[in-house]
Chains A and B, each alone.
With several copies, the nearest count.
Chain A
């Protein structure tokens, strides 16, 4: 006799299964996973070559360059968030699973952030050294990125979910995501620039933090809804 769905499969363990699978996939595709890291390194190391080795100038623009590099690398890796799941049909399976889709989406965002932003966060000291950034600014830069990158991932997920059915969505994605990214960039890089000039910067970080809390709650719900609408 066929039984009904085993009620004992809790949502928590389903999320764990998804997290485990996606992290395993990141590991198996580590060549791809290293891409955002490479891209950020590339952008940052191109600047000294383009501007000439003028330590003060580099130090001055360092926070902005690093923030832009991180933002662009995240933007470029966004496209892959649902791409492979859509192509091989596992996105359908996720949508048909007896679990809240928003939670499953949240798990995917978490893995995306862990895979694309955390490695970059870890080499921020190296990036800062390339650009001669004042060592005392490193903690502020780091905190702003720590708050800003998950925010970018969350906001970006909603946009990606909306464009999930499109074949070549690269440009559209950038166009849609950019306006949402701009405030994050302004407050994130702004905090570091303010700190560099000795101005107060805690306010900007608090704002980022508040936005992050809001996004953690709302973005997965919005992304799940967007997925149901845009699923081809």
Chain B
């Protein structure tokens, strides 16, 4: 068996995953805090005002990391869904489903901060620009996954159906990312690059990276917690859960 699959199968055992999540989620959430705090402080107070936009651009330090997160989480959800559908690994079904609400949250924040920022920049809260429209579609996809998962009574069948939808919707991710290149739009083109020269002030990069790392850590932590809760609920009849419950009471 492929070692990656074997690892998933091992982690797929609910009690083992439970212990793993118990150990790591706390540390991940704790580790996220300093990054977020430092990033926010640096973005708000250390970085100079923009020569065109004044201080209003500082919303960038929320907007851009959460936009990145919305795409990243969708991609991750699709990967989990793929594994769940092909190899029927229970834990991956629940991981994919746990991604959806967090992703929807980041997408909503992106839309909200973007339109707050759009008001001073473009003079309107909303236009039907490709980047904006495709990000709105992303929100609908997240909501669709959540809705489908909630609408089917059997938990495993629900997760599989919703995971399938997530896989279909994955075509939207490149559209969001490349829309600024494929169409001429109001929205900013790619300004920050991993490789090569970014076209923004290098002092702005640091807080951005800090917040980006902070949100990733926080996401992983809450993903573990959510999946753990979902598994406990699903397996509430099983012995290992009863043992844990008894332990908590004692």
Check whether chain A touches chain B (CB < 8 angstroms).
Answer: yes
Q: Which residues of A contact B (CB under 8 A)?
A: 31, 48-49, 52-53, 55, 129-130, 132, 158-159, 162-163, 165-166, 169, 172, 175-176, 178-180, 182-183, 186, 222, 225-226, 229-230
User: Would A166 and B151 count as touching, CB distance under 8 A?
Assistant: yes
Bound complex: CA A132 to CA B128 (Å): 11
* Complex contacts, A222 vs chain B, CB 8 Å: 164, 168
Q: Are A175 and B125 in contact (CB under 8 A)?
A: no
Selected contact of A176 from candidates B128, B129, B148, B152, CB within 8 Å? B148
Q: Is B128 a contact partner of A230 (Cβ separation < 8 A)?
A: no
Contact between A179 and B148, CB atoms less than 8 A apart:
no
Interface residues on B, range: 20 to 34
- Measured CB to CB, the nearest residue on chain B to A53 is B128
| Chain B residues in 8 Å Cβ range of A182 | 133, 137
Shortest A200–chain B CB gap in Å is 15
Question: Pick the contact of B144 from A31, A176, A183 — CB < 8 Å?
Answer: A176
B140 is an interface residue with CB less than 8 A from chain A: yes
In the assembled complex, B127 has its CB within 8 A of some CB on chain A: yes
Out of A129, A132, A158, A230, which one reaches B157, CB within 8 Å?
A230
Q: Which chain B residues in 137-182 approach chain A with CB under 8 Å?
A: 137, 140-141, 143-144, 147-148, 151-152, 157, 160-161, 164-165, 168-169, 172, 175
In contact, A229 and B161 (Cβ under 8 angstroms):
yes
Q: Are A230 and B137 in contact (CB under 8 A)?
A: no
Q: Is the CB of B164 within 8 A of A229?
A: yes
Would you mind naming 24 contact pairs between A and B with Cβ atoms under 8 Å apart? A48-B128, A49-B128, A53-B128, A129-B125, A129-B126, A158-B168, A165-B152, A166-B151, A172-B147, A176-B147, A176-B148, A176-B165, A179-B137, A179-B172, A182-B133, A182-B137, A183-B175, A186-B133, A222-B164, A229-B157, A229-B160, A229-B164, A230-B152, A230-B157
Bound CA–CA A175/B165 (angstroms)? 12
B140 touches A178 (CB 8 A): yes
Task: Assess whether B151 is in contact with A169, with CB atoms less than 8 Å apart.
Answer: yes
Q: What 9 pairs between A and B have smallest CB-CB spacing? A: A53-B128, A179-B140, A179-B137, A176-B144, A48-B128, A230-B161, A229-B160, A229-B161, A172-B147
Tell me how far the C-beta of A182 lies from the nearest C-beta in chain B, rounded to whole angstroms: 6
CB of B168 within 8 A of CB of A175, answer: no
